Amino acid sequence: MKKDNFKIAVFAGDGIGPEIIKEALKILKIISDKKKIKLQFKEGLVGGSAYDHFGVPLPDSSLKLALKSDAVLLGAVGGPKWESLDYSVRPERALLGLRSNLGIFANLRPVVAFDELLDASPLKKNIVRGIDIMIVRELTGDVYFGKPRGVKKGKDGKRRGVNTMVYTEDEIRRIAVRAFEIARTRKKNLLSVDKANILESTELWRDVVTEVGQSYPDITLKHMYVDNCALQLIRDPAQFDVIVTTNLFGDILSDEAAMLTGSIGMLPSASLGDKTALYEPIHGSAPDIAGKNIANPLATILSVALMLRYSLSLPREASLIEKAVGETLKAGFRTRDIFQKNKKLVGTEEMGDAVAKKLRKLIN
């Protein structure tokens, strides 16, 4: 029997987190009302707000809640208030702690240009029109977790900073398998991005991805160096279908790719492992605009669509949310970050309400 009862952990986090999560929950509520599925929401603290309360960015209670959930919805973490803290308790550590403890090694970042926002991109319209890229970023390895790491004083009294870029073949194999499977559901083109001309860890990456590719003869596999990929994303982004890459390169390339769509405020993400999954917008906590009802909730709402697709087995409803977002943009609604002349400037709440209204119509 199909599961119809899901536990969802909700971590609003810091900055604009609570405001955008509120709008995303409106959307989830519509789905649960219509579909008669039971969604049990449990809230927890992560990031700076957790540090203020518990002295750590990822308290045990929040980690346990996440581990017991079918899916986690997260807003954003961090802010100037916590910037001077030791690295070990910075809000961002909550993300790394969740990623490693939940084993969510595959980070999916779809980069889709909505026609209505083509003008908001700094690139020419003919370059960004129709782009539909899926970036599959490895999320639990690389310099983010490699050891040794840290800053130490050497014998000469001078400080030395070290991070270690490391990948095992098993780590590469499992992300490669995910990426090939995803490519199979799309245009069947997979590009693996590395720096194999200079970094041995990514020479191994290239070898293992190629090996995995032998089991996927229907997928066209190509390789590209990361510097060239950064260039190609601006020169001709329409050439890309699925991109699989390392943690650090994926972090950088996905921010770059986000700008193709006009605003980083538009990009959702899904982080998948073998058990639970985490959904969050790729933008940060934007402390400068927090609490003003001006943040763009669309990336978080689109993250909910990914949750329906990948964790709740509701692909039709996922597409309806994406459609509702498209129609809301078509109707002229814009938050400040994507505002254009002659459009309707709205706040966070109004944008959430507008999408909710469209969705209610579509879902009937």
| Active-site annotation, residues | 144, 195, 227, 251, 255
Q: How far is the CB of 163 from ligand IPM (least distance, A)?
A: 13
Round to whole Å and give the CA distance between 47 and 36. 33
Round to whole Å and give the CA distance between 319 and 300. 15
Residue 275 half-sphere exposure toward CB, CA atoms < 13 A:
12
Residue 241 touches ligand IPM, criterion: CB under 6 A: no
Choose from Mg ion, ligand IPM, none: what does 324 bind? Cβ within 5-8 Å by kind. none
Closer CB to Mg ion, 241 or 251, in the complex: 251
The span of 3-11, 158-166, 217-225, 249-257 binding Mg ion (CB under 5 A) equals 249-257
CA-to-CA separations, 216 to 138, 176, 213, 225, 244, in angstroms, rounded: 20, 11, 5, 22, 15
Considering only residues 279 to 298 of the shown chain, the ones binding ligand IPM according to CB under 6 A are 282
Closest-CA residue to 70 (of 140, 2, 9, 29): 9
Choose from Mg ion, ligand IPM, none: what does 118 bind? Cβ within 5-8 Å by kind. none
Choose from Mg ion, ligand IPM, none: what does 190 bind? Cβ within 5-8 Å by kind. none
Closer CB to ligand IPM, 76 or 131, in the complex: 76
Burial of 303 (0-12, 13-18, 19+ CB in 10 A): buried
The H-assigned helical ranges of 185-286 are 200-213, 226-235, 247-258
Round to whole Å and give the CA distance between 199 and 203. 6
Residue 256 touches ligand IPM, criterion: CB under 6 A: no
Residue 203 touches ligand IPM, criterion: CB under 6 A: no
Choose from Mg ion, ligand IPM, none: what does 92 bind? Cβ within 5-8 Å by kind. ligand IPM
Residue 251 touches ligand IPM, criterion: CB under 6 A: yes
Q: How many residues bind Mg ion (CB under 5 A)?
A: 1
Closer CB to ligand IPM, 244 or 356, in the complex: 244
The span of 81-89, 166-174, 248-256, 338-346 binding Mg ion (CB under 5 A) equals 248-256
Closest-CA residue to 139 (of 169, 111, 101): 101
Considering only residues 92 to 151 of the shown chain, the ones binding ligand IPM according to CB under 6 A are 92, 95
Round to whole Å and give the CA distance between 305 and 310. 9
